[in-house]
Amino acid sequence: MYKAVRARMRALVCRMRATRRDAGMVTSEYAMGIVAAVAFAVVLYKVVTSGQVSAELQAIVKQALDARM
C-alpha cells in the first residue's frame, strides 16, 4: 500500500511540474487576446447601437416599465 501511495504522489507531483512549465500565455498571446476582445466589443457596440436593435431594446424596457402587476 505504501508503494502505491508513493507512486501516485510521484505521478501527481510530476504532472504538476509539467503543467507549471507551460502554465501561462506569452506576451504575443496576451496581445492577440486583447485585440480579439476589443474587436468583439466594437462589433457588439455597433450592433447594440444600430437603429433597429436600439428601438427593440427601448421597446422591451418600455414594456417592462409599463407592466402592471
Q: Give the pLDDT of residue 40.
A: 96
Q: Tell me how far CA of residue 6 lies from CA of 10, 35, 65, 68, in angstroms.
A: 6, 46, 64, 67
Domain assignment of residue 54, given as a range: 25-69
Query: Which pLDDT score is estimated for 18?
Result: 54
Residue 69 lies in a domain: yes
Domain contains 7: no
Q: What is the pLDDT of residue 3?
A: 80
pLDDT band at 7 (very low <50, low <70, confident <90, very high): confident
pLDDT tens-digit map of 25-48: 678 888 899 999 999 999 999 988
pLDDT category, 17, cuts 50, 70, 90? low
**CA pair distance 6, 35, nearest whole angstrom:** 46
**What's the domain count of the chain?**
1
Residue 30 falls within a domain, yes or no? yes
Residue 20 lies in a domain: no
